[in-house]
Structure 1
Amino acid sequence: MALSKITITEINGASRFLTSDDSKSGMLFYVSDTSALAETSFQVYSLQEAETAGVTVDDFPVAHYHIDEFYRMSDSAQLQVKFVSYTGGTHDFAEVKELVADADGDMSQIGVYTQANFSTGMVTALQAVMSDLKEEDDIPLVSLLQANFSGVTLSSLSDLSSSNAPQVAVLLGQDGGGTGAALYNSIGKSIGILGAALGSLSVSSVHESIAWKGQYDVSGAELNTLAFANGTPYKSVSKSQLATLNDKKYIFLLKDFGLNGSYFNSSFVATQESSDYYSLERGRVINKSRKLLRTSLLPQLNSPLYLEESGSLRLETIGKFTSLAEQGLQGMLRAGELSNYSVYIDPAQDVLASDTLVIDVKLQPVGVSRYINITLGFAVSLA
């Protein structure tokens, strides 16, 4: 008889779990109605779990690719995966609400993949769903849209800065020499960078731009050689063309002299740069603060509001609600996700007439060094 022992078998899988709500993500794939996984939804923490659920490289090469890329960037974050039948026609993205409901609303960002040809109408439709989730269900999210750009020239792409879609970012990058390129050549439809982009969002802090070059290099076996989602090689696109695509608020990948790797050009969403919510990180910061404020204050809904003889709110009432509002914001401040914040409750507000307590919360965001200007020259004296 063999000696007693403990046997441990190592398996491939996640090395760590990202448990923060900020990392929880969803990925929606539109597939043919004959697909074995059509109308299914499941939660995974690794590519291996997705494969066990049926997302094999042979049967679902594109979905497998993006889930693989997601976990290449974000280790083992919670990912809700949903497959939806699509037989053509205009997307209204109503299935996004189903994806969010499948995870009980417990996610912070989603990615949508479709092989339908891109149009600005898609951006408008997806933003409408994002707005409904935020306003009607109090589930604020940001979204990444990967549609088909094959057969479209880069110069003909619409300017997204007028789309007024602060919760939608449109992806235009693609691999140019690895698995993504091979899939594009085989399928003839855009493959894109949905997995890498969503994974980068998942692993980043909410105030961080995924275009931070010192932090988010997405190159590896994949995304080392770059292209665009219409198959155009990155090296064939001029600097002025890249600047134009950037100004039109598309997200793609680029190279920089003096720095090895592949990096996102920006973290813009499809809205004007003058908007307070012009980037993914601005949206994620406001979304997180909104969730934290709601969680802290929801137990106080319909609670008593005590008044002084003058009719103004008592100091202890103001103090209680101010303290509750500050709870989550203090955590964001300590984590470097905010520069500062303020909470103010006007004691003179007439809560008897309105049954409404107004709390004024202001957030001072963290800046992003999108541009760095240096003056350089010789001097006779440095004194």
Structure 2
Amino acid sequence: MALPKISIKFLTGQLGTVAESQDGLLALVCGGTAVSETFKLNTPYTIYRLTGLEELGVTKENNAGLYKMVQEFYQEAEEGTKVVVYAVAKTTKMTDLCDKDSGPLRGLLQIQKGELRALVIARDPDAEEVEATEGLDPDVFTALPKAQALAEWATTELYAPIFIALEGRSYKDAESLKDLSDGEDNRVCIVIGDTESASEGAAMGIFAGRVASSPVQRNIGRVRDGSLYPTVMYIGENTVEDSMDDVATIYDKGYITPRIHVGRSGYFYTDDRLCVDPTDDYAHIAHRRVIDKACRIAYDTLLDYFLDEVYVNQDGTMQAGILKSLQAAVEGAINSSMTANGELSADTSAGESGATCYIDPTQNVLATSTIKMTLKVRPYGYARQIDVELGFDVQTNS
């Protein structure tokens, strides 16, 4: 019989903090104004709810654009979701921001030590006169290749792959909009559409909140996840409901906008397109996020083998046991982190693997000091088109 005592069990999960996942860690970048010593420009701040921004002294009055961006982020993402806020001078163009050699975002990525998965960029300039070119502020299009180069730099130099979302500023009309469907920027997307009529900007906080709330394999336009938070959204001056013909044109040209679905209330994203030819393997954010996560896992796993001794045969090839062990380590790391979580397309109940690693056993590692391997992961397909043949089921008497 146990000694009589009082047992107290400490409860967890009572503070409303979301279980932290780095997969959805984004940086919200926006033009802003410093607030005394509590909020400085070109300085990252990590917050978990809108009150975290307010505690830094940021308000609707002193930083309207940034406040709107964060407020809408937490309307779409659950409170407790971690996000990095980074304000720059309001005069800073997106082209200058994204320059990998001279822009401040390079430093932001380095300070965050590879933890960020995406940069979501908006502006809030004071009384700026902009003449739209090819449907948008020309700064958007000059920033596009810069953003791609910055994301590629983060991938190759920091081993921290990211994608970048640019605000489709100063949208005027769909017909004159530049066609990006034959582009090459498969790490950048452009978002059009706002919660305010005739806005010069876009609802980048809503977009960021949906990305942060979605697992890496999830299309942000998935209807089953429910509509976006706003009760009214606009494409330029008109509501989305009145702009559906334009929405189709904008989508064909490679942009992301809100849309409506007949029979469903609210707004949904058209898709998750990146600014690249749609036949590119990484033409969509979901595929980009999946392959980037696999890249991070593979790098982290292989780092343990870097400059390690490799047992070889007399001809310089790897011994079979070592080769199989290395393959298994990479596959196992990805499968335990991704396949088991439903982020790769595999039937786990049947013992299927979502990742396959192959190392050529004939390569001479002793002579080259190089191990070449091929790593492939199996993504999901997406039902972008559903074709139905509908008719009457009747029998006729002949």
TM-score norm. by structure 2 comes to: 0.83
Provide the rounded CA distance (Å) in 1 between the counterparts of 2:75 and 2:244: 30
274-283 vs 36-45, greater mean Cα deviation: 36-45
SS at match of 1:154: coil
1:236 is displaced (CA, Å) by 3.0
- Residue type of the partner of 1:224? T
What residue number does 1:225 align with? 232
1:280 is displaced (CA, Å) by 0.4
SS at match of 2:300: helix
1:202 is displaced (CA, Å) by 0.8
SS at match of 2:304: helix
Provide the rounded CA distance (Å) in 1 between the counterparts of 2:220 and 2:249: 20
Report how many residues are paired. 354
Q: Which has the higher contact order (CA 8 A, sep 6+)?
A: 1
- Residue type of the partner of 1:145? L
1:42 aligns with 2:45: yes
Is the CA contact 1:110–1:144 (under 8 Å) kept in the aligned structure 2?
yes
**Which structure has greater strand proportion?**
1
Cα deviation, 1:23-81, whole Å, max 9, x if unaligned, reads 21111112368996433321111111111112212211221111111122221222111
SS at match of 2:122: strand
Is the CA contact 1:130–1:142 (under 8 Å) kept in the aligned structure 2?
yes
Is the CA contact 1:22–1:205 (under 8 Å) kept in the aligned structure 2?
yes
For the aligned residue pairs, the C-alpha RMSD in angstroms reads 2.3
- Residue type of the partner of 1:286? I
Cα deviation, 1:235-270, whole Å, max 9, x if unaligned, reads 33243x322111111111111111112100110010
5+ residue gaps, structure 2, are 1-13, 126-136, 346-353
- Residue type of the partner of 1:338? L
SS at match of 1:277: coil
Provide the rounded CA distance (Å) in 2 between the counterparts of 1:226 and 1:32: 27
Within a 5 Å distance, the mapping from 1:340-351 to structure 2 comes to 340-351=354-365
What residue number does 1:164 align with? 184
Within a 5 Å distance, the mapping from 1:108-127 to structure 2 comes to 108-115=117-124, 117=137, 118-127=139-148
Provide the rounded CA distance (Å) in 1 between the counterparts of 2:220 and 2:328: 33
TM-score norm. by structure 1 comes to: 0.86
1:336 aligns with 2:329: no
Q: Give the % identical residues.
A: 22
1:310 is displaced (CA, Å) by 4.2
What residue number does 1:10 align with? none
Is the CA contact 1:289–1:328 (under 8 Å) kept in the aligned structure 2?
no
What residue number does 1:68 align with? 71
Provide the rounded CA distance (Å) in 2 between the counterparts of 1:30 and 1:163: 27
Is the CA contact 1:26–1:99 (under 8 Å) kept in the aligned structure 2?
no
What residue number does 1:6 align with? none
Is the CA contact 1:26–1:100 (under 8 Å) kept in the aligned structure 2?
no
Is the CA contact 2:33–2:62 (under 8 Å) kept in the aligned structure 1?
no
Cα deviation, 1:306-355, whole Å, max 9, x if unaligned, reads 11234331112112211221122212112121123211111111111211
Structure-2 change in CA distance of 1:167 and 1:53 (3 Å): same
5+ residue gaps, structure 1, are 1-12
1:14 is displaced (CA, Å) by 6.8
What residue number does 1:21 align with? 22
What residue number does 2:369 align with? 355
SS at match of 2:267: strand
Q: Which runs of 4+ in 1 moved over 4 A?
A: 32-36
Provide the rounded CA distance (Å) in 1 between the counterparts of 2:109 and 2:93: 23
Is the CA contact 2:32–2:63 (under 8 Å) kept in the aligned structure 1?
no
